[in-house]
Structures are given as structure tokens and as C-alpha cells.
Structure 1
Amino acid sequence: MMHRINNGGFRKCLLGFLLILCSNYSSAAVPKDTVRVLFVGNSYVYYNNLIQMIGLITDSIDTKIICKKSVFGGSTLGDHWNGRKGLKSRQIIANGKFDIVVIQDNSMWPIDHKDSVLYFGELFCKEIKQKGARPFLYNTWARQKTPETQNAINLVYQELGKAQGATVVPVGSCWSKALE
């Protein structure tokens, strides 16, 4: 998964991601000084030290973002839901008192297994809402060899977001721009 990226583009993507997370609480009746976020996904979450970067950046703003993760390389939302590969995502959601849960499926699943993404995405969104958190969808990027699949990936996440009232974080589109 080695990509040559434009550092300025990557920083803009990360900043945009943080703005989306933080903006959801800036208009709240009672502003929050701490937002608890859980990332459920795979290497797309941990490979570039996303959680560490968010922590470093939020050290300089008023809202502190505390991030936790439930990840395993190559995993799908189905793996997370069914507790395969030792994943305990559902238990973490149930016990974590999170404000936001960011879910992300295997990068190829929206293309090859759309129904699975929609099915397990719906299950997770409903469970996340039942626990009082907001679901966010981490819209992944296309593989370097197949950039033409980005639109298909985006459409699946947009469909899921619309159906479940979840916020879609367009990481894939930002990543594509960072590669330009």
C-alpha cells in the first residue's frame, strides 16, 4: 500500500477530517471539551498513524479528541460484527461511551460486495445510535492500480450514509486529490 503523496494534500485531508469531527459539536447547546471517537476498520485506519496524528493536532485546539480503535488488517465490517479475527468491536461500542464511531469496511468490499457493506453498515449504524453515539462512515480510497473505481466506492458509502443518517467522511476523494 505504498503511495507517493503530496504532503500538503495529505495534511489538507487530515485537517478536513478533523474539521468534520469537531464541527458536529460546535453547534451543540452545551459545547463539549472532549469528544470520544472509536475507529472500527483495518489498516486504512492504522497504517498512516491516523489516530496519533489526530491526537497531536487536537492538542492545539479547544476540543480534545480521544481516539480508540478496533482494527485488524484486511478486516471487513462483517468480521467486526461477528467477532472474527479476535475483534471485539461490538463490545467496545457497547461499553465505551463514545460520541462518534467511525466505521470503515475493507477497501474492495464496496466494489465486490456492496450488499455486505450496506447490510453490516446498517447493523453497525443502528447499534451505534442505540448507544447514543453518531455513526461516521470512513469512505476509503481506490487502489493505486484502479483509480477509476473511486466513484463506485463513493456511491456505496453515500447510499449507506443517506439510508442511515450517517456522516460520510470523504477520505477517498481527499486521498485521490492528495495523489495529484
Structure 2
Amino acid sequence: MFKRLIALIALILLALAAESSLAAPKKKAKARSTDAEQSVLFIGNSYTYVNDLPGMVNQLLKAGKNAMRIDSFTRGATALSAFYEDASLRGGRDKLAKGRFTWLVLQDQSQTPAMRPQATIRYVALWTELARRQNTKPVLFLTWAHAVLRDNRVELIEDMQDKTSYTYCRCAVDNKIDIAPVGEAWRAWYKKYPTKPLHCPDLSHANNRGTYMAACVFYAVLTGDSPVGLPTLGGVDRKTAGDIQKIAAATVAKFSPEACLKKLDAANDELPDAATARALITRDVTVKQLRDKLGKPAYVTEQDGTTVYQFRLRNSGELALYCRGGKPYSATIRAGENSGVDIINIDEL
């Protein structure tokens, strides 16, 4: 009898415990990390500090109730290689080592990913190794290309953007790290709003709209939230700010470094090779003939009465045609990134 009573009491206690467990509110999942837990260190040059991009990111994070501790180490015209190697620029490495940052934003010198991609690839890997020792997650700042002025309109240099995007995406995939596709958001903006430039008059740095675009992209990458509906900053008018937010949100939502590499590889395969380009250079060659065969020039520059048309070739090759008074007189062909240059005197053909 006593044993039955004990068993009955045990069953009652189990039932009460189960009921209590079901009735109690479920423990909420851990909320997004607090501002004391989340922090960001920006390392870069004037593309980072002009218009105070870190400060603008900070304001957007606070407005979106995603406040984080923001810090930066910047120096004009400086590459990731110098920030890593130069003893006088060790401030970035020191801050990373001591700051317990959640994120490390890496921005290389603007031309290096396009013109010396192996340098970017090498030093992103080295910075990634440093960051991971501190349990910090690297984020690549995929920058925008320079621009040219054509018919009083600012145009993004597509060739430079392709090369810049390719290098940063290669780094992101190889190192398995995050990427903020700012340059691709700029590209999307210029396609839709060609009369509202994001570049300063120097055709390199960002104006207020450009910095606001970059800040919106970083907001989306760092928080996983859309920047649509955030306040306007930097003197950008409300309508333009809304348009920028939408393009930033759409770019981040659909961007994949793997897909970007695949797309750019396919585009490269469609380009003519150096041998094909060389066969087009005859004594009677014209710019129109090259346009018809090679497509739109990546760059057109004028200096001292000479106009230079630069055409893209496969594997980062290039054909440059030099004209005076509309007549071609010389050409150079480079078969690839690390190949020599073939100089052709057209008048002697």
C-alpha cells in the first residue's frame, strides 16, 4: 500500500512538472548582439574616410536600432599591403589586436584590385589570418571604379569595375569571408540614374550620394536588415535617399561572389584574344572597324592632340589604338595581365 502511495505521488509530481513546463513562457531566442557585443573596425584610405563613411554607417546603425561600436584606421592613397607591412602604419594592426572587434572591413587602394590583383589577393589572405586569430570576421569593401566624363555625363568605367569586382570576389570565395558589394550597387545606380552621379568632380572619390550608398550597403551587410526606410544623411534629399536605399537593398539581397565570378568569367570568354586583335591592325585600319570587331572601347582618352582608344581583350589583355586627327598611327597589344607589350607602327605596315 505504501509503495502504491509513493508511486501515485511521484506520478502527480511528474504531471505537475510537465504542466508547469508547458504553461511557462518559452525562453526567447537570443536577440541580435547588443552594441557592447558588436563592433566594426574599418581599415582603408580616402575611399573610407571621405565624407566619413564609418560615421555615416554608425548613424544608420543607431537609427535602425542596431547600434555598434565603430572605429577606423585610415591613410590616404594607402594599400592593404602598406597597412600590413609598414611599421609607421601599424595602428590598424594594433587596433585589431586590442579592440575585440566583431567585424574588420578591408578596403584596398582603389586601383590595386584592377591593376595588381595578386597584391590584393595576397594581403586580403594575410589580413584574414590576423582577423581570425582575434575571432574577428573580415568584410571586403568592394569599391567602385573611377569614372570618365563623356558628353557632360559621368560614366562608371565598366572595365575597371569588372576587374575590381572580380578580384574582391575571388578573395571572398578563396577565404570564405563576407563582402559588401558597394561597387556593384554603384553600377546598378548608374544604369538606372545616369544623370545623378555618385562620384565627386575628381571622378574617383564619392560625393555625398555615393557615400550614402556605401553606408546603406554596409548597413544591409552588417545587420542582415534592409536599409529601406532609414533616415537620409549627408544632405541627400529624401527622394534620392529612398532610391539609393532600394538599390542598396536589392544589390545586397541578390549578390553572390560565386555568381559574380561565373558571370565575369563567361564575359571574358566572349572577348577576342590578342591574335585576333593583331590581325585587325593593318595600314588602313579605322576606329570604326575595331569598334565593329572588338566592341565599345573600355577607355577613350585625349592628350596633346592624340586620342587613345583602349579595347579589352581576353584574360586582361588590351589593344590600344593611337590616333591623330582621326587617323591611327600606332597600336599596342598586351596579350594578358603579365605579358609584354607588342608595339606596332601602323605607318610602317
Q: TM-score when scaled to structure 1?
A: 0.79
Q: Give distance in 2, aligned partners of 1:83 and 1:113.
A: 19
What is the rounded CA distance, in whole Å, between the counterparts of 1:85 and 1:43 in structure 2? Answer: 18
Mapped contact 1:71–1:87 kept (Cα < 8 A):
no
Instruction: Confirm or deny that 1:173 pairs with 2:195.
Output: no
The corresponding residue for 1:62 is: 65
Please tell me whether residue 164 in structure 1 is matched to residue 165 in structure 2: no
**1:95-121 deviation per Cα after TM superposition (whole angstroms, max 9, x unaligned):** 110000000100100111111100011
State the alpha-carbon separation in 2 of the partners of residues 86 and 131 from structure 1.
19
Alignment-derived partner of residue 56 in structure 2: 53
| Equivalent-residue separation in structure 1 for 2:31 and 2:134 (angstroms) | 19
> Which residue identity lines up with residue 111 of structure 2 in the other structure?
M
- Name the CA distance, whole Å, in 2 between partners of 1:106 and 1:85: 17
Alignment of 1:74-93 (within 5 A): 74-83=77-86, 86-93=89-96
Q: Which has the higher helix share?
A: 1
List per-residue Cα deviations over 1:95-149 (Å, max 9, x = no partner).
Answer: 1100000001001001111111000110001110110010000001110133321
Q: What's the CA shift for 1:85?
A: 5.1
1:138 aligns with 2:149: no
- In structure 1, the partner of 2:105 is 102
Q: In the alignment, residue 74 of structure 1 is paired with which amino acid?
A: A
Larger radius of gyration: 2
After superposition, give the CA deviation of every residue in 1:47-94 in whole Å (9 maximum; x if it has no partner). Answer: 122112112222222321221111101100011001355342111111
> Does the CA-based 8 Å contact 2:138-2:178 persist in structure 1?
yes
Once the 2 structures are TM-superposed, how far is the Cα of residue 176 of structure 1 from its aligned partner? 2.4
Give the share of equivalent positions with the same residue, in percent. 23
- When normalised by structure 2's length, the TM-score is 0.42
**1:116: which partner in 2?**
119
1:30 to partner: Cα distance? 5.6
Unpaired stretches in structure 1, ≥5 consecutive residues: 1-27
Structure 1 equivalent of residue 216 of structure 2: none
Structure 2 residue runs without a partner (length 5+): 1-28, 149-156, 195-349
Whole-Å Cα distance in 1 between the matches of residues 137 and 113 of structure 2?
22
CA 1:130–1:114: 2 relative to 1, 3 Å: same
* Alpha-carbon distance, 1:178 to partner: 3.1
Does residue 42 (structure 1) correspond to residue 45 (structure 2)? The answer is yes
Task: Give the aligned residue type for 2:108.
Answer: D
- Residue of structure 1 equivalent to 2:162: 151
Task: Look up the SS of the partner of 1:67 in the other structure.
Answer: strand
Answer yes or no: is the 8 Å Cα contact 1:79–1:87 preserved in 2: no
Aligned to 2:34: 33
> Match for 2:139: what amino acid?
F
CA contact (8 A) 1:33 1:64 kept: yes
Q: 1:135 to 1:157 in 2, by over 3 A?
A: same
Check conservation: 2:82, 2:89, Cα contact below 8 A: no
The residue aligned with 1:12 is none
Count the aligned residue pairs: 153
Secondary structure in structure 2 of the residue aligned to 1:39: strand
